């Protein structure tokens, strides 16, 4: 079984681009904005953290000390004990603009692909036009993509949210009129099975306030390995 710390490292690899000295330089997403100034994944085994390239050496050192003092993760919705201290350290250099926190999961190895979740390739792009044309504009970069088709169009989609690395993050969307039908779990299961077949680890993370997304992870038997926290 892959350790929680190794999964945390995969999570960072899937989300971010680093500079030559291992600092945050970009987000592995077409057209994405700048990365957070501080990123942290807490696990029961320890923590992984990164700072952006423009964070001063003094602030980076202070953040590192705070990460070392952060206790092991105990609950999926738990915010860092050092949360306010992390913010204060960054605000010594510049105001904190936004904060993100949410659980991070590994999807199981034994998920079966439901028959009603179909693979979407370039020639099927028209199926996405009604609900997902904007988010799925870079279809080739999202491969593999799976969807549930209803009323002659895709109503739920799971895609590769980031470019390929050891671990690949799931990105799942369901059209508003088709939610609460279990479609999200079906497309994620199909996507995860294909990711495993390609030799990668399927990862799933979400915002802590997104109850529907957390319910999808629970329905699939996803294994919580950590909680993501970032400040920009």
CB-CB neighbours of 16 under 10 Å: 22
In a domain? residue 90:
yes
**207 in any annotated domain:** no
Average pLDDT estimate for 141-158: 95
Computed from CA positions of residues 114, 2, 76, 38, in that sequence, does the dihedral angle turn out positive or negative?
Answer: negative
Whole-angstrom distance, CA of residue 110 vs CA of residue 189:
9
Q: Are 191 and 202 contacting, i.e. CB atoms less than 8 angstroms apart?
A: yes
Q: Residues 160-170: what's their mean pLDDT?
A: 86
Domain housing 75: 4-106
Global confidence as pTM: 0.94
* Contact (Cβ atoms closer than 8 angstroms) between residue 39 and residue 49: yes
Answer whether residue 94 is part of any domain: yes
The per-residue pLDDT for range 80-129, each reduced to its tens digit, is 999 999 999 999 999 999 999 999 999 999 998 898 999 999 999 899 99
Q: Is residue 30 part of a domain?
A: yes
Q: Is residue 152 part of a domain?
A: no
Task: Report yes or no on 214 lying in a domain.
Answer: no
Q: Say how far apart CA 149 and CA 217 lie, in whole Å.
A: 21
Residue 11 maps to a domain: yes
Domain-embedded: residue 226: no
User: How many structural domains are present in the chain?
Assistant: 1
d(CA 135, CA 73): 33
Residue in the structure block whose two tokens are 């050192």 = 61
């Amino acid at each position: 079984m892959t350790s929680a710390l190794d999964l945390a490292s995969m999570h960072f690899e899937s989300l971010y681009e680093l500079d030559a000295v291992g600092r945050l330089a970009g987000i592995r997403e077409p057209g994405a904005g700048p990365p957070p100034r501080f990123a942290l994944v807490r696990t029961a085994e320890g923590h992984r953290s990164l700072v952006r390239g423009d964070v001063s050496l003094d602030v980076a050192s202070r953040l590192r000390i705070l990460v070392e003092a952060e206790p092991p993760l105990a609950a999926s919705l738990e915010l860092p004990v050092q949360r306010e201290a992390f913010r204060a350290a960054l605000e010594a250099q510049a105001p904190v603009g936004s904060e993100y926190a949410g659980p991070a999961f590994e999807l199981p190895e034994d998920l079966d692909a439901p028959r009603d979740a179909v693979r979407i390739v370039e020639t099927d792009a028209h199926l996405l036009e009604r609900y997902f044309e904007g988010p799925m504009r870079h279809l080739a970069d999202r491969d593999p993509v799976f969807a549930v088709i209803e009323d002659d169009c895709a109503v739920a989609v799971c895609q590769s949210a980031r470019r390929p690395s050891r671990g690949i993050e799931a990105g799942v969307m369901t059209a508003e009129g088709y939610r609460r039908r279990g479609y999200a779990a079906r497309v994620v299961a199909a996507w995860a099975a294909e990711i495993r077949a390609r030799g990668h680890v399927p990862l799933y993370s979400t915002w802590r306030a997104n109850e529907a997304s957390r319910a999808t992870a629970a329905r699939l038997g996803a294994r919580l390995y950590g909680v993501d926290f970032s400040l920009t």
